[in-house]
Amino acid sequence: MTDENPTPPTRRDRFRPVELLVFAAIVAVFVGLVVVFSTREWELGGIFAGVGFIVALVVLATLAITTRPDLEERRDIDDQDRAGH
């Protein structure tokens, strides 16, 4: 399935993986801090932060893959962007 007019990826599309990594890191830090403050064990907090990072990254990547707009939706989005909505 190829598009009729392939366009180069936009800046937002290129930075999408960075956004996913940053959000997963924020989730990991939050989970790690919650565990450290509740148990006072830094090692356990680090383990939970790592697990939280991996789980958040997998979930976010899965959601990003499954919610791709089809060709008609992309055209509609492009038309709205050009109209200034």
Binning pLDDT at 50, 70 and 90, where does residue 34 land?
A: very high
Tens-digit pLDDT profile for residues 5-26: 556 767 777 777 888 899 999 9
Q: How far is CA 45 from CA 2, 25, 52, 64, 81, in A?
A: 46, 14, 10, 28, 44
**Two tokens, residue 79:** 């038309």
d(CA 59, CA 17): 13
80, pLDDT greater than 90: no
pLDDT, residue 85, reads: 55
Is the pTM higher than 0.95?
Answer: no
Helices and strands, number each (H, E), in the chain: 3, 0
Q: Tell me the domain boundaries of the chain.
A: 13-83
